[in-house]
Amino acid sequence: MGRTRAGARENDARDDDDDDDDNSRELKMTTTKIMYDGTVVFHVYDTLEAPTPIFKGFLEGALHVVEVARAHPNFVSSHFHYALRDAEQRIDSKEGNSCFNYVLFDDVRAEDVWDAFEDLGDSIEMGHLNQTEHALACREIATYAPSNTDTRSSLAQTYVKRQEIVSSGKEAPVFGFDESNVVMFIGVKMTNAPSVDAWMDTLGITNAEAIVGSGSFQDASLFEVATCSKRDETEHRFTHIARVSLGPCASDVSKVQAAEDTIRKACEIVDASALVAPYACVYNIGKTGTPPGALPAVREMAKKKKEAESQGYASAAT
């Protein structure tokens, strides 16, 4: 199967004038098909102090923000990630960047999302009191999906699947317990934007793919940061974010570490303060279903049930 890379910048919606040439129209059509053409809000938590007095703990505040986000008609889905190993302990000990989240919104530009959803910005302020956090509205500008025949990005596929679920009246699964799929978060602040032809090499993703192997590696996407929920912020934590799915290789600790190291080494050339860390997606939150605030308790109960069933099967087999 041939491998395909695709990259393009979103054209501004106002550039649809009659004098656009055919190439511009063709580029926009291609971009819409390949990339997710809505807004992706990445939420990064540098500190996890309790947002008192409104909320007792970090997760309570963070998941309240997700609840507000999914109340909006443009909300597609939210994908909350925990650090790959010992996540609960790291969150409880308030270790910075031990989780992150991203939310998909449809039919709204990244430049307009905070004006369109003013109460979302208000909920972020309340849900993350006493913390250093960054809610960054982004646009997807490049993707690499070697195993996908139509070359659509992972987020573009997610949008299509969510629309199919909604139209069928079914509920999307909130989470599974196969958290072996490793998602590498890359956040960099760059003076010059990475080339859409060379970003995989610039950020060390090409070498990471070679480390985990083509049989495991799934996809990668590059995002350009447009705006932040903090209206007075002129310089954002990152200028670009990459989401890289290394595939189901979490059990191979040395392989994941090697991939992380090679990405970090490449990123530190362009940004000494780059954030590079492995995660697992633990909550896939749709428009309906379990309230986000209840998910940690539900997940814990389900995990215990699964462990009990596994022990029962093991006992029966001996």
* Distance separating alpha carbons of residues 223 and 7, to the nearest angstrom: 11
Phi-psi region of 195 (alpha: psi -120 to 50; beta: other; left: phi over 0): beta
In the chain, at which residue ranges do the beta strands (DSSP E only) sit? 5-7, 39-45, 75-83, 99-105, 133-144, 181-188, 219-228, 240-248, 275-285
Residue that is written with structure tokens 């690499």 in the block: 144
Q: Report residues of the chain scoring pLDDT below 70.
A: 1-33, 148-151, 163-178, 313-318
* Distance separating alpha carbons of residues 24 and 14, to the nearest angstrom: 13
Q: What is the value of pTM for the model shown?
A: 0.84
Q: What is the DSSP string of 175-205?
A: --S-TTEEEEEEEE--SSPPPTTTHHHHTTH
Percent of the chain with pLDDT over 90: 61
Task: Look at residue 151 in the predicted model and tell me its pLDDT.
Answer: 65
* Distance separating alpha carbons of residues 66 and 285, to the nearest angstrom: 8
Task: Look at residue 132 in the predicted model and tell me its pLDDT.
Answer: 96
Task: Look at residue 243 in the predicted model and tell me its pLDDT.
Answer: 97
Task: Look at residue 12 in the predicted model and tell me its pLDDT.
Answer: 40
Task: Look at residue 149 in the predicted model and tell me its pLDDT.
Answer: 65
Cβ contact 156:221 at 8 Å? no
* Distance separating alpha carbons of residues 193 and 182, to the nearest angstrom: 26
* Distance separating alpha carbons of residues 268 and 189, to the nearest angstrom: 10
Task: Look at residue 307 in the predicted model and tell me its pLDDT.
Answer: 78
DSSP 221: E
Task: Look at residue 22 in the predicted model and tell me its pLDDT.
Answer: 41
Phi-psi region of 97 (alpha: psi -120 to 50; beta: other; left: phi over 0): left
Phi-psi region of 151 (alpha: psi -120 to 50; beta: other; left: phi over 0): left
Cβ contact 72:105 at 8 Å? yes
* Distance separating alpha carbons of residues 175 and 294, to the nearest angstrom: 13
φ, ψ of residue 275 to 5 degrees: the values are -100, 120
**What amino acid occupies position 140?**
E
Would you state the structure tokens that stand for residue 137, as one six-digit string?
Answer: 């509205």
Task: Look at residue 165 in the predicted model and tell me its pLDDT.
Answer: 65
Cβ contact 299:290 at 8 Å? no
Would you state the structure tokens that stand for residue 24, as one six-digit string?
Answer: 């511009």
Cβ contact 56:127 at 8 Å? no
In this structure, is the dihedral angle defined by the CA atoms of residues 237, 235, 76 and 11, taken in order, positive or negative? negative
Task: Look at residue 316 in the predicted model and tell me its pLDDT.
Answer: 57
Q: Helices (H), strands (E): how many in the chain?
A: 10, 9
Q: What is the tens place of the pLDDT at every residue in 194-209?
A: 887 899 999 999 999 9
Q: What is the tens place of the pLDDT at every residue in 169-196?
A: 666 555 544 578 999 999 999 988 888 7
* Distance separating alpha carbons of residues 252 and 113, to the nearest angstrom: 39
φ, ψ of residue 291 to 5 degrees: the values are -60, 135
Task: Look at residue 20 in the predicted model and tell me its pLDDT.
Answer: 43
